[in-house]
Amino acid sequence: MLKKIKRIIDYGKSKKNIGSKAVKTFSFDQVEAILSNISDGVAVIDKDFCIAAFNQTAANISGYKIEEVVGQRYSSILKIYRNRKLILNDKFIASIIEVNKKKDLGNVSIIINKEGKKVVISGCVSPYKNDRGSIDGCVVIFRDLTKEKEIDVLKTEFVSLASHQLRTPLTAIRWFIEELYNGELGELNPGQKDYIRQVMESNTRMVKLVNDLLDVSRLEAARIRIEPKFTDLTKLAKDVVGYYLPVARANNCQVIVNDPREVLPKIKIDPSLIREVLSNLVSNAVKYSQNKTGENRVLISLAKRRNDIVVSVKDFGIGIPKKFQRRIFQKFFRADNVAKIDTGGTGFGLYISKLLVEASGGKIWFESEEGVGTTFYFTLPLSGSEARSGERGLVSEEEGMSAKI
Amino acid sequence: MIFQSKPKVKSYKVLIVEDELKLQKAIGDKVQREGWQSIVASNGEEGLRAVMQEQPDIVLLDIIMPIMDGLTMLKELRKISDVPVLILTNLYDEKKLIESFRAGSYDYLVKSNYSLNEVIEKIKEALENAKK
Q: Give mean pLDDT, residues A238-244.
A: 88
Burial zone of A116 (CB within 10 Å; 0-12 exposed, 13-18 middle, 19+ buried):
exposed
Residue numbers in A near B33 (CB within 8 A): 179, 184
Helical pair B116-131 and B21-33, crossing angle rounded to 10 deg:
60
Q: What are the backbone dihedrals phi and psi of residue A193, each rounded to the nearest 5 degrees, phi first?
A: -60, -40
pLDDT of residue A1: 47
Angstrom CA distances, A255 to A274, A297, B6, stand at 18, 6, 43
* pLDDT band, residue A395 (cuts 50/70/90): low
Average pLDDT, chain B: 86
Inter-chain touch B108–A178, beta carbons under 8 Å: no
Average pLDDT, chain A: 82
Higher per-residue confidence, B63 vs A395: B63
Inter-chain touch A168–B97, beta carbons under 8 Å: no
pLDDT of residue B29: 93
Q: What are the backbone dihedrals phi and psi of residue A401, each rounded to the nearest 5 degrees, phi first?
A: -55, -50
Kindly compute the dihedral angle of the four CA atoms of residues B63, B64, B70, B75, in this order, to the nearest 10 degrees: 100
Q: Give pLDDT tens digits for A354-368.
A: 989 988 899 999 998
| Integer Cα distance of A171 and A166 in angstroms | 9
Burial zone of A343 (CB within 10 Å; 0-12 exposed, 13-18 middle, 19+ buried):
exposed
Inter-chain touch A398–B110, beta carbons under 8 Å: yes
Higher per-residue confidence, A301 vs A25: A301
For B111, name the nearest residue in chain A, comparing CA atoms only: A171
Q: Is the pLDDT of residue A128 over 80?
A: yes
pLDDT of residue B110: 85
* pLDDT band, residue A130 (cuts 50/70/90): confident
User: Residues 6 or more apart from B23 whose CB is under 8 A from it?
Assistant: A168, A171, A172, A175, B62, B111
* pLDDT band, residue A12 (cuts 50/70/90): very low
* pLDDT band, residue A177 (cuts 50/70/90): very high
Q: Is the pLDDT of residue A378 over 90?
A: yes
Residue A172 identity: A
* pLDDT band, residue B96 (cuts 50/70/90): confident
pLDDT of residue A392: 59
Q: Give mean pLDDT, residues A228-241.
A: 90
* pLDDT band, residue A398 (cuts 50/70/90): very low
**Cβ–Cβ contacts within 10 Å for residue A285, how many?**
27
* pLDDT band, residue A43 (cuts 50/70/90): very high
Beta bridge partners of A46: A137
Tell me the CATH architecture of domain A2-144: 2-Layer Sandwich (3.30)
Q: Is the pLDDT of residue B57 over 70?
A: yes
Inter-chain touch A398–B92, beta carbons under 8 Å: yes
CA distance A325 to chain B (A): 33
- The pLDDT > 90 percentage for chain A reads 24
Tell me, what DSSP letter sits at residue A388? B
CA distance A150 to chain B (A): 24
pLDDT of residue B98: 84
pLDDT of residue A344: 64
Window from A162-166, A324-328, B72-76 with minimum mean pLDDT = A162-166
pLDDT of residue A343: 62
The domain ranges of chain A are 2-144, 146-223, 226-387
CA distance A86 to chain B (A): 35
Chain B from 28 to 57: CB within 8 A of any A CB: 29-30, 33
Quick check: A40 and A57 in contact, CB under 8 A? yes
Inter-chain touch A172–B20, beta carbons under 8 Å: yes
Domain A146-223 has CATH 1.10.3470: no
The shortest CB-CB distance from A171 to any of B3, B23, B30 is to: B23
Q: Is the pLDDT of residue A157 over 80?
A: no
| Integer Cα distance of A131 and A139 in angstroms | 16
Quick check: A351 and A331 in contact, CB under 8 A? yes
Domain A226-387 has CATH 3.30.565.10: yes
For B24, name the nearest residue in chain A, comparing CA atoms only: A172
| Integer Cα distance of A365 and B80 in angstroms | 58
Top CATH class, B13-131: alpha beta
The shortest CB-CB distance from B101 to any of A171, A211, A405 is to: A405
Q: Is the pLDDT of residue A277 over 50?
A: yes
A173, A402, A404: best to mutate for the B interface, most B CBs within 10 A: A402
Q: Is the pLDDT of residue B106 over 80?
A: yes
pLDDT of residue A399: 45
| Integer Cα distance of B100 and B107 in angstroms | 8
CA distance A403 to chain B (A): 9
Higher per-residue confidence, A161 vs B89: B89
Higher per-residue confidence, B14 vs A395: B14
- Look at residue A329 and give its three-state secondary structure: coil
Quick check: A60 and A115 in contact, CB under 8 A? no
Q: Is the pLDDT of residue A21 over 60?
A: no
Higher per-residue confidence, B8 vs A296: A296
pLDDT of residue A33: 82
Chain A from 212 to 231: CB within 8 A of any B CB: 214
Quick check: B59 and B83 in contact, CB under 8 A? yes
Chain centroid to CA A318 = 27
pLDDT of residue B43: 92
How many helices and strands in chain A, by DSSP H and E? 14, 14
Angstrom CA distances, A317 to A111, A242, A312, stand at 50, 20, 15
The domain ranges of chain B are 13-131
* pLDDT band, residue A236 (cuts 50/70/90): very high
| Integer Cα distance of B129 and B132 in angstroms | 5
CA-derived radius of gyration, chain B: 14
Kindly state whether A207 is in contact with chain B, defined as any CB-CB distance less than 8 angstroms. Answer: yes
Q: Give pLDDT tens digits for A45-72.
A: 988 899 988 999 999 999 999 888 888 8
pLDDT of residue A332: 75
